[in-house]
Amino acid sequence: AAGVIQSPRHLIKEKRETATLKCYPIPRHDTVYWYQQGPGQDPQFLISFYEKMQSDKGSIPDRFSAQQFSDYHSELNMSSLELGDSALYFCASSLRRPPDTQYFGPGTRLTVL
């Protein structure tokens, strides 16, 4: 069965640089979620999209933005990177109604030097 695809899997950036993370949800899933997991921490919700519209916003810094495109893939754009942004970034997809299982991608490990 098709899974959530994330790219790149690993990314190394310098402070103040920008990064773009991509997510391709499971086909026919209408909702995409982004989560951030710091070292030794639990995943924290960042933002979600339903049918290409932002549906919910969590603890996402103003330096980050995201969107969902017509083909349902999503991109998380991160600017002015800080050392503290180093983390695993997960994308998950699901069917919105009824609230159902969220399937997670393998994650993008971002390291900011």
Partner 1 sequence: SQQGEEDPQALSIQEGENATMNCSYKTSINNLQWYRQNSGRGLVHLILIRSNEREKHSGRLRVTLDTSKKSSSLLITASRAADTASYFCATDSDRGSTLGRLYFGRGTQLTVWP
> Which of 24, 105, 110, 112 forms a contact with partner 1 (CB under 8 A)?
105
Q: Terminal CA-to-CA distance of the chain, rounded, Å?
A: 37
Span from 11-19, 66-74, 77-85, 102-110 in contact with partner 1 (CB under 8 A): 102-110
Span from 12-20, 65-73, 75-83, 103-111 in contact with partner 1 (CB under 8 A): 103-111
List C-alpha distances in Å: 47 to 13, 15, 55, 60, 113. Answer: 22, 23, 8, 7, 25
Binding mask 62-91 for partner 1 (x = CB under 8 A): --------------------------x-x-
> Which of 24, 25, 31, 72 forms a contact with partner 1 (CB under 8 A)?
31
Binding mask 36-55 for partner 1 (x = CB under 8 A): -----xxxxx--x------x
Burial class (CB in 10 A: 0-12, 13-18, 19+), 104: middle
Strand ranges (DSSP E) for 1-113?
Answer: 5-7, 10-13, 19-24, 31-37, 44-50, 53-57, 64-68, 74-78, 87-94, 103-104, 108-112
Residues near partner 1 (CB under 8 A): 31, 33, 35, 41-45, 48, 55-56, 58, 88, 90, 92, 94, 96, 98-107, 109
